Amino acid sequence: MFKFLKGVVGGSGTGIKDLPYNIGEPYPSSWGSWTHSRGTSKEDGSAVSIFLLSGSSSQDGHLVAGRNGVKRLRTVRHPNILSFLHSTEAEVSDGSTMKHTIYIVTEPVMPLLEKIKELNLNGTQRDEYFAWGLHQISKAVSFLNNDYHDTNDFLDILILFQVHGNVCMASVVVTPTLDWKLHALDVLSEFDGSSEVSNSAMLQYEWLVGSQYKSMELAKSDWTTIRKSPPWAIDSWGMGE
């Protein structure tokens, strides 16, 4: 089963030696247990971002959730959601132990927190930039909650209501052109109010989400109420915080 998941996550790559990118210096902050590093393409030197997540076991809860995030990022396309380029999973030696590590390569971005420090905006400029950024993230969330389309094996168009479940400052990154983009899709799940959510990533990995970003219902694991709520209810709480 792990080999299958590894194939889904990693494509043809089987280890860090196969990663066609150079990993540079990490940023001081990133979402959850992920490390967000600067990087460059080995082919043409173009800038990228590289996200790394490690665990002592292939079934570490963080890694299992991380694989969900990789799968989601590969398939979701929207101007205000981080653009996926490449991923792989490898066992990497850490001195005397082996660690399982997921690598995600994306367009070059910077954590929102670090960009805010760098820009050092004040007054009206700060307010206007924050308003514009929040508008961009709200469009990404609206797309997931209301407008995401997918196709099944029969190429039928499926309209899927999805919940990001983890909207917060750390799940936002900024492009070189200062646009805000949503990422950290580890707990992203389909929302179906008519069925149980026992198999959803949101239920399995809600412990990854900071308590201040959880609605009261999510904090209490009140799945009955959550199923009766609109798909945007949980993410709107994160936007408000």
pLDDT given at position 239: 67
Instruction: Compute the mean pLDDT over every residue in the chain, rounded to the nearest whole number.
Output: 82
With cut-offs at 50, 70 and 90, classify the pLDDT of residue 190: confident
Q: Which residues does residue 5 pair with via DSSP β-bridges, in sequence order? A: none
Specify the domain boundaries for CATH 3.30.200.20 within the chain: 2-106
Specify the domain boundaries for CATH 1.10.510.10 within the chain: 110-240
With 80 as the cut, is the pLDDT of residue 148 above it?
A: no
How far apart are alpha carbons 229 and 233 in whole angstroms? Answer: 6
Amino acid at 179: D
Topology at the third CATH level for domain 110-240? Transferase(Phosphotransferase); domain 1 (1.10.510)
With 90 as the cut, is the pLDDT of residue 159 above it?
A: no
How far apart are alpha carbons 12 and 159 in whole angstroms? Answer: 30
Three-state secondary structure call for residue 53: strand
Q: Helices 123-142 and 233-240: crossing angle, nearest 10°?
A: 170
Please, which residues have CB within 8 angstroms of residue 116's CB and are 6 or more apart in sequence?
Answer: none
pLDDT per residue as tens digits for the range 64-123: 999 999 999 999 999 999 999 999 999 887 777 888 999 999 999 999 999 999 999 999
pTM attached to this predicted model: 0.81
Three-state secondary structure call for residue 72: helix
CATH of 2-106, one of 1.10.287.130, 3.30.200.20, 3.10.290.10, 3.40.50.300: 3.30.200.20
3-state secondary structure 165-190: CCCCHHHEEECCCCCEEECCCCCCEE
